[in-house]
Amino acid sequence: MLRNRHEQHYHTLNTTSSHQKEVYYYDSEDSKKNVKSTIISYQTLCHITITVVGFFVSFFKIWYPAEVVFDEVHFGKFASYYLNRTFYFDVHPPLGKMMFAAMGYLIGYSGHYDFGEIGGSYIEHKVPYVGLRALPASLNVCNVALMYAIMKQSGYSTLACVVSSCMYLFDNALVAQHRLILLDSSLVFYMLLTAYTYIRFFKLRNKPFSVSWWSWLVAAGASMAMTLSVKMVGLFTVGSIGVAATVDIWNLLDIRHGLSLKEFGKHFLARVVGFVLVPVCVYLFWFYIHFAILNQSGPGDLFMSPQFQATLENSPVSLLSIDIHYYDNITLFHPTTSVYLHSHKHKYPRRYENGRIGSGGQQVVGVHDPDDNSYWCVKPTKDISKDKRTPVHHGDIIQLEHVETGKHLLTHNVASPLTSTNMEFTVVPLEERYNETLFKIQLDDHANGNVWKTHMKSVKLVNIAGSVGMWTFKDKTLPLEWGFGLQEINGKKDFIRDKTTYWRAMDVKGVNAKEINLKKKEEKKEKPMSFWKKFLELQLRTISRNSGLNTPHPYKSRPISWPIMQRGISYWRNEVTREQIYMTGNIFGWQLGLVAVLCFGTVVIIQTLARQRDTHAIQTVAIRQRLFRSAGFFWLLWAFHYLPFFVMGRSLYLHHYLPAAACCYLLVGALFQFACIDGINTPISGRMMTPSTTVNHRPFTSMKACPSYWSYLIAFTILSLQFAVFVFLAPITYGSPGLTAEQASQRKLMKSWDLAFA
């Protein structure tokens, strides 16, 4: 409802038709001073009370279940890797997992458990899981406090602060997710901390370059980087703050602010420091720590380049890597699909089922288990003696002879069996078709050593005559009738920038590389890989791997279904006790949040149309500014943390909506005050300024928010419904107690929810 009662508290001093210069003052300054201490104590009491309740809600039965739940299998395992200093690979940045490792270290966990499967017993394996879960639960308590603090610092009434923080507090999805060994609690914590510190910085815009101004600026930049250091979706937080800061700096450029170009330049550079340099340094710092801790070879080795692997202690790469010489018999491995180059006496068909003509030549295929048919002799095209043991270099032109059948590897202008656009690979007798058997060696990272090595140096084998690179793809398996289900090998034309056309020599027949390397006491070490190269490689691998996460999963969902809570995720179940954890949000709160988003958009559209008619849908300046600046900021946070998922191709799940859900609750509180409470509390910057008064620094103050009985009744109704739904769904949030079939069916608030035992 729009209120006319606001107007009686304000006096218009000056207005114009096209650009309204409006300055207002509040008549009851003395009365406000008289109740100041009472208000402060009341606000503080509410803040503390809600935080304490948040503690009990987050820590309630945190010891149950005493089993591995959902993605605890991943993040608990990663914490163990840190404690053992074992290198691993994950698509998320390191901070959140290092926090679990630090907690494990503090509570005496040795990292002995591998968190192998959902349902694994913590008690049986002596894992201090309660201490590990206490970290995300504690952060969730902080999140509750931050929700209140954000609303308070944004100038909202105590009642609006209570609405937002309690909506967050009694959200089933946030509670379920933020009490397990998962990253989302720390992600939301740093996101809210970023919003809080940015608001504190923005409030000091009338005290630029003061110590507190700089402190909150740097804190906002650091918090932003911490969000990104937990999960890559922290980029959404970076984007939202980036937009807000850009709008702020654009407004400062307005001549009505009275800033000279020199002063504006100082503001611009300060924000570059706070919102660019500080976040970059913080983000890099956590990766530096990540590399410093994980210095032992581990399961993540295979995701990284041989040069990266060589920097790890006890790495097979450094122990097994030796130079390849002419006339060595080697195996060639394709790291993308994990197959070895192989040939045998079986032939390609002369005619395929689709009528296409084949060569009938000897098959060249990819196998997962190498044998004697997987060895190839590296032969020179120049007159080089076997006795000289000449190494093979980048750019050399070679022939590869199949050792068992004594034939040269060849590719020719015949379509490959399954990939008709690519060229077939086969072998031919030694004296035949010489030009088509020539291959050029193209080493990866040849600038740091141009000698071909086993394990260490990946290679592209480029056929000279056909101008194609040897390639294979995991989905290209030959028919069982004649190809035995083995992987097709072919020549790819667009190989130059394709990383999947790299192969790797794995061993030299008859040579014990490990023994040779251990005996070399004065061996010249490889040039160590710099931090920047390791950082860049890991970022590229992470981005590539992240975009490839699209495997089928029973609980995948699309973003369009999240706000309406179409379906949850089954995290854990016990068939005997009929207990389960089903991650689903508070359906009332999420749908109310969606209504708030739509209502705010509607108000913006109405105000925009009104401006075209030289008027305002919301006549009171302070109310209008508060709505569009503060509620608009909350809407921006929601949009940035939700809408980008629509263009993502990777697998997505309901828990990806949790940061946006938290932002929705901030917006709910803001719109609650706008619709139900007269006035606004302390202006967001302490002493509100209009553009026309900024030059002379003439402040105006605002009217005090005055909740009515209707305001309290509406707030009570909203929070009662939120709490009722929370309590009703609590058994599937906490995993206890077990439910009968009838009770489980009752909790299917939507038909699409697939609860167990229902």
Q: Is the pLDDT of residue 521 over 80?
A: no
**DSSP conformation class of 485:** T
The model's confidence at residue 34, banded by pLDDT at 50, 70 and 90, is low
Tell me whether residue 571 is in a domain.
yes
The encoded tokens of residue 10 equal 């304000």
| Statement to judge: residues 282 and 349 lie in one domain | no
| Statement to judge: residues 46 and 87 lie in one domain | yes
pLDDT digits (tens, 9 = 90+) for 234-284: 999 999 999 999 999 999 999 888 899 999 999 999 999 999 999 999 999
Reading phi first (left if > 0) and then psi (alpha if -120 to 50, else beta), residue 346 is in beta
Q: Which of 300-304, 375-379, 684-688, 732-736 has the lowest mean pLDDT?
A: 684-688
Tell me whether residue 83 is in a domain.
yes
| Statement to judge: residues 602 and 495 lie in one domain | no
Q: Which of 186-200, 222-236, 451-465, 720-734 has the lowest mean pLDDT?
A: 451-465
pLDDT digits (tens, 9 = 90+) for 207-217: 999 999 999 99
* Pairing status of strand 423-429 against strand 407-415: antiparallel
Contact 703, 679 (CB under 8 A): yes
Tell me whether residue 615 is in a domain.
yes
Q: Is the pLDDT of residue 529 over 80?
A: yes
| Statement to judge: residues 164 and 273 lie in one domain | yes
Tell me whether residue 300 is in a domain.
no
Quote the CA–CA distance of 385 and 326 in Å, as a whole number. Answer: 9
Quote the CA–CA distance of 530 and 528 in Å, as a whole number. Answer: 6
Q: Is the pLDDT of residue 86 over 80?
A: yes
Tell me whether residue 406 is in a domain.
yes
pLDDT digits (tens, 9 = 90+) for 674-690: 999 876 665 554 443 34
Region 221-228 average pLDDT: 98
Percent of the chain scoring above 70 in pLDDT: 90
pLDDT for 36 equals 54
| Statement to judge: residues 138 and 25 lie in one domain | yes
Quote the CA–CA distance of 422 and 438 in Å, as a whole number. Answer: 18
| Statement to judge: residues 281 and 386 lie in one domain | no
| Statement to judge: residues 466 and 352 lie in one domain | yes
Tell me whether residue 572 is in a domain.
yes
**DSSP conformation class of 436:** G
Query: Residue 242, exposed/middle/buried by CB under 10 A (0-12, 13-18, 19+)?
Result: middle
Top pLDDT among 564 and 316 is at 564
pLDDT for 53 equals 98
pTM: 0.81
Contact 181, 133 (CB under 8 A): yes
| Statement to judge: residues 505 and 443 lie in one domain | yes
pLDDT digits (tens, 9 = 90+) for 688-747: 334 443 333 334 444 566 788 999 999 999 999 999 999 999 999 999 999 999 999 999
Which of 496, 512, 528 finishes a domain?
512
Region 413-438 average pLDDT: 94
* Max Cα-Cα span within the chain: 105
| Statement to judge: residues 657 and 742 lie in one domain | yes
Which of 512, 544, 571 finishes a domain?
512
Region 10-26 average pLDDT: 36
Tell me whether residue 306 is in a domain.
no
The encoded tokens of residue 327 equal 């006339």
Tell me whether residue 175 is in a domain.
yes
pLDDT for 5 equals 40
pLDDT for 733 equals 97
**Residue in the block written with tokens 């710092």:** 285
Which of 512, 545, 571 finishes a domain?
512
Total domains in the chain come to: 2
pLDDT digits (tens, 9 = 90+) for 632-667: 999 999 999 999 999 998 889 999 999 999 999 999
Contact 705, 681 (CB under 8 A): yes
| Statement to judge: residues 575 and 459 lie in one domain | no
CATH number at 478 reads 2.80.10.50
| Statement to judge: residues 253 and 350 lie in one domain | no
**Domain encompassing residue 180:** 5-289+562-746
pLDDT for 679 equals 66
| Statement to judge: residues 332 and 285 lie in one domain | no
Q: For the chain, give the mean pLDDT.
A: 89
Q: Is the pLDDT of residue 330 over 90?
A: yes
Distance between start and end Cα atoms, the chain: 42
